[in-house]
Amino acid sequence: MRIGIVIPSFDRYADPEVFRRLVLQVEALGFDSAWFGDHIVFPADRPDYIGSSWLDAMACASVGLGMTTRLKFGTDVLVAPYRNPIMLAKMAATASLLSGGRFMLGLGIGWLEGEFAALGSPPFANRADVTEEYLRVIRQMFEEQGDLSHAGRWINYDQIAFEPKPAQPLPILVGGNHPKALRRAALLGDGWHPLFLAPVDYTRGRAEIERIRQEAGITRPFTFSMSGSEVRILPEAKVLLPARSAALGTSYAPAVETGDGGRQKYIGTADQVREDCLALGEGGVEQLVIRFAVPLDPLIGPDEHFEQLRLFAAGVLPHLS
């Protein structure tokens, strides 16, 4: 199982020096990839747990690629309807080409309605249909040769050239936990990248995607990825609840998973966290992307984050690859 890290790019972490230290440490400690979440603007009625200061995910990934030689970078995940798909395809293809194929494009439908309105994006209610059309456009830009045309509901073009193509296949990972997201990933993606699933639920989702792909005759390579809940390595076994409130689970992700007498999964000793991660691998996760901090987290600041990376790399990472 390959292990990636969500590098926080918000609030206290939206700082050039902290960003540089984190990127370089993630590469030096042997992690496979680094990922960045996506918010652009923040309506007044936003949930209080997401904060209001975020760096741009594509810019972070591009700068990180230029700072490193081995580490892969991905988006966890970009909200597809926020961006013109041709422009996004150009940015992603350029990042992939200049980095030797180290960029992965994660895309989802989004969940913060006020952000859609502020950006002038297509209507929030249509975000799933918009995302699917944009995915088709991006795939065409990456894969088809010659003059390209598309007549759709949300975007139209006729006889355009898109060059250069990515130097090698650029993985498009589709986020989402809903059954419709599984179908979207199976038919239009190169991977599935849901959020905070328990192993049994991931196994069911993987089986459904494999069924859909087989029925559709799709044979292109596919990555079973997951954006995992926050991780915390503790010096001794005890129950510790994270900063993420229970309400977060109801807005765009399942509620937190518990076990071991009420311990939240992925928060515990190195041995406990290792077993939690191994269970996800047994459930079908090939690429696990973990996080040590969430917005407005009062317990994990930059210094604690550096130490958590070190503890995970020493006590957990060697047993997962």
Give domain limits for the chain: 2-319
Q: What is the mean pLDDT of residues 160-186?
A: 96
Q: Parallel, antiparallel, or unpaired for β 191-192 and 172-174? A: parallel
Residue 248 pLDDT greater than 50, yes or no:
no
The larger pLDDT score, comparing residue 209 to residue 47, is at 209
C-alpha to C-alpha distance for 185 and 193, rounded to whole angstroms: 9
Residue 241, pLDDT score: 54
Residue 245, pLDDT score: 41
In angstroms, the first-to-last Cα distance of the chain is 5
DSSP tag of 292 = S
Q: What is the mean pLDDT of residues 110-130?
A: 97
CA dihedral 111, 240, 226, 174 (to 10 degrees): 0
12 pLDDT band (50/70/90 cuts)?
A: very high
Percent pLDDT > 70 in the chain is: 93
Residue among 248, 233, 230 nearest 291 (CA):
230
Q: Could you tell me the fold of the domain covering 2-319?
A: TIM Barrel (3.20.20)
The residues near 97 (Cβ < 8 Å, ≥ 6 apart) are 164, 166, 167
**What tokens were used for 246?**
């229970």
Residue 232 pLDDT greater than 60, yes or no:
yes
Residue 111 pLDDT greater than 80, yes or no:
yes
Q: Is the dihedral of CA 27, 33, 36, 37 positive or negative?
A: negative
Rg (the chain; Cα; Å): 19
Q: What is the mean pLDDT of residues 171-193?
A: 98
Q: What is the mean pLDDT of residues 293-300?
A: 83
125: buried, middle or exposed (CB in 10 Å: 19+, 13-18, 0-12)? exposed
C-alpha to C-alpha distance for 22 and 20, rounded to whole angstroms: 6
Return phi, psi of residue 202, to 5°.
-65, -40
Please say whether the beta carbons of 266 and 291 come within 8 A: no
255 pLDDT band (50/70/90 cuts)?
A: low
Total number of residues shown for the chain: 321
Residue 268 pLDDT greater than 80, yes or no:
yes
